[in-house]
Chain A
Amino acid sequence: MSIETEKIRSIQYRNRNELLKKKTEPYLYLIPTIILIVVLLIIPICMVISYSFFDNVIINKNPTFVGFENFKKIFANKTFFVAVKNSLIFVGGSVVAHLIIGMTFAVLLNTKYFSAKTKAVFRVIFALPWMFTASVIAILWKMLLNTNGVINYFLVEANLTSTQIEWLASRDFALLSVTVINIWAGYPFYMISILAGLQGISTDLYESSAIDGANIIQRFFRITIPQLKPILISLLMLDFVWTIQQFALIWMTTGGGPINATEMLSTFIYKLGFSKYQYSQASATAVILLVVCTIVAIIYVRNQRGQD
């Protein structure tokens, strides 16, 4: 073999090696993250899915495969449908109110009519609920909504009600109360995100529309909303997934009661697992919730791709 041929082969080998390196190197860097995701996410999810197809796992030392038996039991459980109904009301109410309140505050904070100082102060005040943990929010609102609490005091003093209302203990008010608490706790995320989106809209659009004679409402619906659409869709989808999983707030304020008035899918799963020790049925319900959230996530990803 000539020296020249060896040199050519060496160059070819080096090129091939560099190409391989280019292709594989990013994946190698991802390995630690992939390991963590597999251990902390994929394996537990697979375990929960497998649990849902066996008879009572954990309690039963030698569980047997029962197919969709656990799912049948869940669908035969009346409380499950109460939890689904309550979850939909809670999620629907929260998401819509988050959007409206977040949008309103964001628009207010983006307006030119307030000074920068005023805006900064209100930005902090409006964002405060986002800083609190679920336990702090639950304690705070339990005190406010107590029958002897501040809210009832003002309502009675203002002659808006003759008796103290049992906000969290009454079947008529409990679901409304926890939804209001969740709305209060979650709107700042919308507000901050929408505010960031508003600040990214070019003022040229508003100026040219003003020259064309568009009023404030027309500008809002023809410029602001279309410009914010990608952010709003992302927010709505994320909020749906987060709210449907809300547990701590419900558990700490009402525990799913009175009776089943505030029973959500999350509290239903918790009670099945940690109180009734029906881990397989709890897993089956969690799988149903996972499917719903996955569908929403797929829509979200498709939407994001569409924007790209």
Chain B
Amino acid sequence: MKTVKLTVMKTLKKSILPVFLVMSLMIAIVGCSSSSNGNANQANSETGNNTATGAGTAEAITLEFQQWWGVELPDGVLQEIVDGFTDQTGIKIKLLSNPYADTKTQIAAGAAVGTMADVVGLDGSWVYDFAKQGSIANMTALMQADGYDDSQLSDQIKVDGNTYMIPVVNFAYPMYVNLDIVHDAGIEIPNSWSKFTEVSKKITTSTGKAAWAIPLSTESPSGIQNNFMSWLWASGGSMLKDGKPALTNNADLTATVEFVKGLFDAGVVAKGAYAMKEADMVEEFTNGRVAFMTDSLAHLTTIRKEAPDLNFDIIPVPVKDGYTGKSGMGVANWGIGIAENTKYKAEAMKFIEYLMSPEVNAKLAVYANAFPGNVNAEPDYLQADPLFLKAYEIYQNGYAINEFTGLPTSEELMRSFDEQLQLYLDGDTSSSADMLAETQKIWEEAFN
């Protein structure tokens, strides 16, 4: 019997041992990768327990910070800033930096499956959906728990009365003008819609170049927010009433739609608008093929770098004829929020407080060519581009506005507006009233 047992044992060892070895190896690989690549929630569960019980030290905590800012800031700046937080608190920050579009997809995927990074960079247009989904934390409660004075914040993005995102820095969208094209056409800088139409026609006829560019690609429909609505907001108009869509019977918006159609019909708009993205528009301007564009100040450095000889200026967006009130300037922001699934909400709040502290916030604003999110921050713009200072002055003379921030399925609202606008521009929709009525119907469904 002993011989039989031995034979069986040997056979089992021979056949099963390699299998178990391979399995162990795979489990180890999968285990390691999930702990290193997965969300911080899992990755730091051990250290989290230590912190929670008070048995461990804060040094062991690592917060993952997913954002697109690192890519848009000068090399190493964001790392330097977050290292300052580690020096102060011992909490490490792991930067997950990707371009804007990738960040959005990754955050949305993380929100869907509950694996969001601890701290996330947010765009105001995403907030409503993530908040309703319960994937980002209620920051009102966290700020209260921490005794944070939120009066120093320039803005807070709220859903149902609670804050879910804090704008860290704000990017204004003034109008850029190519002075060489303007001089070649022998025209003056326009300050009203009628003058803009007039000079646009002159530019196209005399130089053969496009007068204005608007990116209307449905892949990234932010052109509606940043380039189309900028005309409406500059003239004091609004697309909402009491936070709800007010597209129909809206004289300002109707006039804006018709004004833009007038520009398209006059053939003064850069070709390829329906497939153009913001980056393509900036490229057209940088290459001297477009006279005017509405764009973020964040691109000022890029334009200077790509075309050092480009003779351009920054002006306020022209207003509707006869409008004399204050102009709204479109803004986009680098917002920040905390994942609901993180075990380190308090630590994450500390990190946000650090980024929003006057000194750090001012530093971030200077590097990003942006305006600070903390009202007490005093950015040292002395070294800044003179055009940036000019834009700052325009910004201070008016008011910051972005009506898409905090709306439900905000990007989809822009996309549906974009599609309806394209149908109107192509003549498929007979009137601006019909176009706006159809868009209103689509928007209302999103709000229900």
- B-binding residues in A (CB < 8 A): 6, 10, 13-14, 17-18, 21, 24-25, 28-29, 31-32, 35-36, 58-59, 61, 142, 146-148, 164, 166, 168-171, 174, 251-260, 271, 274-277, 279
Q: Within residues 1 to 28 of chain B, which ones have a CB less than 8 A from any CB in chain A?
A: 1, 3-4, 7-8, 11, 15-16, 18-19, 22-23, 26
Bound-state CA distance A14–B8 (Å) is 8
What string of 1s and 0s marks CB contacts (under 8 Å) between B259-276 and chain A? 000000000001111111
Q: Which residue of chain B is the closest to A253 with respect to CB atoms?
A: B275
Q: Which of A21, A32, A169 contacts B276 (CB 8 A)?
A: A169
In the complex with contacts A17-B7, A28-B19, A274-B105 CB distance below 8 A: yes
B306 at the interface (CB under 8 A from A): no
Q: Give B178 Cβ to nearest chain A Cβ, in Å.
A: 15
Q: Interface size (B, Cβ < 8 Å)?
A: 47
Asked if B411 is at the interface of the complex by the 8 Å CB criterion, the answer is yes
5 contacts between A and B (CB under 8 A): A10-B3, A31-B19, A35-B23, A257-B217, A257-B422
Which residue of B16, B133, B275 is within 8 Å of A58 (Cβ)? Answer: B133
User: A10-B3, A256-B218 given as contacts; is B133 within 8 A of A277 (CB)?
Assistant: yes
Any chain A CB within 8 A of the CB of B415? yes
Task: Give A251 to B102 CA distance when docked, in angstroms.
Answer: 13
* Contact present for B272 and A169 (CB under 8 Å): yes
Complex contacts, B426 vs chain A, CB 8 Å: 171
A164 pairs with B218, CB closer than 8 A: no
Q: Are B219 and A254 within 8 A (Cβ)?
A: yes
Residues in A whose Cβ lies below 8 Å from that of B189: none
Chain B residues 369 to 419 lying within 8 A of chain A, measured CB to CB, are 409, 411-412, 415, 418-419
Question: Given that A28-B16, A36-B26 are known contacts, is A259 also in contact with B422, CB under 8 Å in the complex?
Answer: yes
Min C-beta distance of A225 to chain B, whole Å: 40
Bound form: Cα–Cα A260–B422 in Å: 11
- Contact partners of A59 in chain B: CB under 8 A: 129, 132-133
Minimal beta-carbon separation of A255 from chain B (angstroms): 2
How distant is the Cα of A237 from the Cα of B280 in the complex, in angstroms?
37
- Contact at B423–A259, with CB atoms within 8 Å? yes
Q: How far is the CA of A275 from the CA of B289 in the complex (A)?
A: 33
Find out whether the CB atom of A275 lies under 8 angstroms from the CB atom of B133: no
Given A35-B26, A170-B274, A171-B426, A17:B11 Cβ within 8 A: yes
Please, how many angstroms separate the alpha-carbon atoms of A21 and B17 in the complex? 13
Decide if B220 is an interface residue (CB 8 Å cutoff).
yes
Contacts of B273 in A (CB 8 A): 169
Question: Does any Cβ of A come within 8 Å of B134's Cβ?
Answer: yes
Q: Which residues of A contact B111 (CB under 8 A)?
A: 58
Please tell me if B310 contacts chain A, counting CB pairs below 8 Å. Answer: no
A10-B3, A147-B272, A275-B411 known; A255-B219 Cβ under 8 A:
yes
Contact, CB under 8 Å: A276 / B275: no
Judge whether A13 and B4 touch: CB under 8 Å. Answer: yes
Name which residue of chain B comes closest to A22, CB basis.
Answer: B15
B272 touching A168, Cβ below 8 Å: yes
Report the bound CA distance from A6 to B16 in whole Å. 27
Q: In whole angstroms, how far apart are the Cα atoms of A168 and B426 in the complex?
A: 15
Tell me whether B219 and A18 are in contact (CB under 8 A).
no
Nearest A residue (CB) for B425: A258
Contact, CB under 8 Å: B274 / A166: yes
Distance of A286 Cα from B133 Cα, bound (Å)? 22
Contact of B11 among A18, A31, A166 (CB under 8 A): A18
Quote the shortest CB–CB distance from A58 to chain B (angstroms): 5
Q: Does B141 contact A (CB under 8 A)?
A: no
Partner of B219, one of A31, A58, A252: A252
CB < 8 Å neighbour of A276 from B8, B276, B280, B412: B412
B133's nearest neighbour on chain A, judged by CB, is: A59
Q: Give the shortest distance, in Å, between A258 (CB) and chain B (any CB).
A: 4
Q: How far is the CB of A154 from chain B (nearest CB, A)?
A: 17
Q: Is the CB of B275 within 8 A of A17?
A: no
A14 B217 Cβ-Cβ under 8 A = no
CA distance A54 to B133 in the complex (A): 16
Of B26, B134, B272, B418, most buried by chain A (CB within 10 Å of CB) is B272
Taking the closest CB of chain B, its distance from the CB of A300, in whole angstroms, is 29
Q: Is the CB of A259 within 8 A of B272?
A: no
User: What CA separation (Å) do A25 and B19 show in the bound complex?
Assistant: 9
Given contacts A10-B4, A169-B273, contact A259 B22 (CB under 8 A): no
Q: For A276, what are the chain B residues with a Cβ–Cβ distance below 8 Å?
A: 409, 412
How distant is the Cα of A109 from the Cα of B19 in the complex, in angstroms? 46
Are B409 and A277 in contact, CB atoms less than 8 angstroms apart? Answer: yes
Residue of A nearest to B220 (CB): A255
Closest chain A residue to B128 by CB distance?
Answer: A277
> A293 CB to closest chain B CB, in angstroms?
22
Measured CB to CB, the closest approach of chain B to A108, in angstroms, equals: 34
Q: Please tell me if the beta carbons of B272 and A254 are within 8 angstroms of each other in the complex.
A: no
Instruction: Choose one: A31, A164, A258; the contact of B271 (CB below 8 Å).
Output: A164
Known A-B contacts A257-B419, A259-B419, A276-B409; the reply to A32 vs B219 at CB < 8 A is: no
Looking at B15, B22, B219, the one whose CB has the most chain A CB atoms below 10 A away is B219
Q: Separation in Å of the B158 CB from the closest CB of chain A?
A: 19
A101 shortest CB reach to chain B, Å: 25
Contact A168 B415 (CB under 8 A): no
- The residue among B8, B15, B129 with the most chain A CB atoms within 10 A of its own CB is B15
Identify which of residues 240-269 in chain B touch chain A, using a CB-to-CB cut-off of 8 Å. none
Point out the residue from B3, B220, B275, B423 that lies within 8 Å of A168, measured CB to CB: B275
A172 to B272, CA, bound (A): 13
- Measured between beta carbons, the chain A residues less than 8 angstroms from B219 are 251-252, 254-257
Whether, in the assembled complex, B346 has its beta carbon less than 8 Å from a beta carbon of chain A, the answer is: no
| CA of A108 to CA of B357, assembled, Å | 68
| 3 interchain residue pairs of minimum CB distance | A255-B219, A257-B218, A258-B274
Q: Is the Cβ of A58 less than 8 Å from the Cβ of B272?
A: no
Instruction: Provide the bound-state CA to CA distance between A29 and B22, in Å.
Output: 9
Say yes or no: A32 contacts B409, CB within 8 Å: no
- State the Cβ distance, A281 to closest chain B Cβ, in Å: 13
User: Shortest CB–CB separation between residue B403 and chain A, in angstroms?
Assistant: 18
Chain B residue with the shortest CB-CB distance to A6: B1
B99-144 with Cβ < 8 A to chain A = 104-105, 108-109, 111-113, 129, 132-134
